[in-house]
Amino acid sequence: MLKRLLLLPSLAAALLTTACTEAPKEAVKLPIMGERDVRPRADGGPADTVFATVPAFRLTDQFGQVLTNKSFAGRAYVADFFFATCPGICPKMQAEMLKVYKKFGQQQRLAFLSHTIDPAHDSIPVLRDYAERLGVGTARNWHFATTGAHGEPTARDTVFQLAQAYFTAALPDKQAPGGFAHNGTFALVDDQGHVRGLYDSLNPKEVDRLLVELPVLLAEIDSRKPGLARQ
Amino acid sequence: MRGAIARPASALGAALALLAALLQQSCFSNNRHQGEKLYSQHCAGCHGEQGQGLGRLIPPLAGADYLVDHRAELPCLLRYGQKEVIVVNGVAYHNVMPGEKGLSPAQLTNLLNFIETHWGNSASPRTIREVEQQLEACRGR
């Protein structure tokens, strides 16, 4: 009897370890942020759940390259909002993004997208100069992008709306350093345009969490492409 | 006989010296903390926790020749900020630095003393009086 009792913990341990080694493939999945919509199907089958996605956008990056949602199809990207002359939180925020870039910049299935919220000032040459000064002048997968490459009068409103879709607050504020108030959120977006993680770049623990969660998302993307996963 | 009187006196002297040392130390360490605190509140966001700067966007403070070459101008620079191109260790930076008009001469002194004695910087300490005199150059700006 006593012997059997002694066996129990080892049995439990064996079960637990298998659970730990096998479960994560399904269990560890990042959540999908935002409202979801449940749509009944016409044929009476189980209703479809429609998850929020980033709305359609059209941007131009520091190389003059046009970027739309399709430019990131099949890839994840990390998005943030900044402006080149920002004396407030931007240097800290972009220094943190640089850390993430240094660790994951070589990943084929990942891009970086920094939107300027001051399109009137941050022209394409200004954005290129900014990238060079940050030390990523030759990086092709870190885009410093504007909604106002052609002087569109609505450029600022467009980028503010876009910021909302990435759960980032950005608005003009005369009291704020540099004339804009915004927060330093990093949004992790998956290959299908769903926001899968939000991280406050001013908090080192949050940036650490991004570093842990990024590979989880990349693995999920790989699992969707079984033919490519082994490369 | 002489020795017997001298001993308690020297013990008292040692106790006083110890007390003075303790008091002095606590005063200095408070000041040092103020400089460090002000640095992390007002400066570290851009210049970095280690004064390292950021690429060619934000100049470093660690080992910056500018701090040595423009020592007397630094209180005014901190208070009113600067908009001109600034050359630090041979690299030109053109970002605007906002001023910190709310800092008192004593706070500016502690802040500068912190910056100027960390990350390889080793300037001699400033006094509040010195900083007040240096602020005269930008009075009424």
**By the CB < 8 Å criterion, does B86 face chain A?**
no
| Residue A35 placed within a domain | no
| Residue A86 placed within a domain | yes
Residue in A88, A89, A133 closest to B57 by CB: A133
Q: pLDDT band at residue A173, thresholds of 50, 70 and 90?
A: confident
Query: What is the rounded distance in angstroms from the CA atom of residue B111 to the CA atom of residue B34?
Result: 7
| Residue A3 placed within a domain | no
pLDDT tens-digit series, residues A9-56 = 554 555 555 544 544 455 589 999 988 888 888 888 888 889 999 999
pTM over 0.95: no
Residue B13 has pLDDT above 90, yes or no: no
Its domain, for residue A115, covers 58-226
Q: Please list the residues that pair with A188 across neighbouring strands.
A: A78, A197
pLDDT, position A23: 47
Instruction: Give Cα separations from A199 to A2, A78, A172, A179 (angstroms).
Output: 51, 10, 22, 24
**By the CB < 8 Å criterion, does B101 face chain A?**
no
What is the dihedral sign for C-alpha B89, A202, A159, A181? negative
| Residue A29 placed within a domain | no
With CB atoms and an 8 Å threshold, state whether B56 touches A132.
Answer: yes
Residue in A85, A92, A178 closest to B45 by CB: A92
User: Domain residue spans in chain B?
Assistant: 2-138
pLDDT, position B24: 56
Contact call for residues A145 and A67 (beta carbons, < 8 A):
yes
Contact call for residues A118 and A180 (beta carbons, < 8 A):
yes
On average, the pLDDT of chain A sits at 87
| Residue A202 placed within a domain | yes
The CATH number given to whatever domain includes residue A107 is 3.40.30.10
| Residue A32 placed within a domain | no
Residue B48: list chain A partners with CB under 8 A: 95
Q: From 1.10.10.10, 3.30.360.10, 2.40.50.140, 1.10.760.10, which CATH number describes the B2-138 domain?
A: 1.10.760.10
| Residue A148 placed within a domain | yes
Residue in A87, A94, A133 closest to B96 by CB: A87
**By the CB < 8 Å criterion, does B96 face chain A?**
yes
Bridge-based pairing state of the strands A142-145 and A110-116: parallel
Residue in A85, A98, A135 closest to B95 by CB: A85
Residue B55: list chain A partners with CB under 8 A: 98, 133-135
Nearest chain A CA: its distance from B46 CA (Å)? 5
Contact call for residues A168 and A183 (beta carbons, < 8 A):
yes
Query: What is the rounded distance in angstroms from the CA atom of residue A149 to the CA atom of residue B85?
Result: 26
For the record, the structure tokens of A145 come out as 């992008």
Residue A127: list chain B partners with CB under 8 A: none
- ipTM surpassing 0.85, yes or no? no
If one counts the domains in chain A, the total is 1
List the single best residue of B57, B61, B86, B100 to mutate versus A (max A Cβ within 10 A).
B57
| Residue A132 placed within a domain | yes
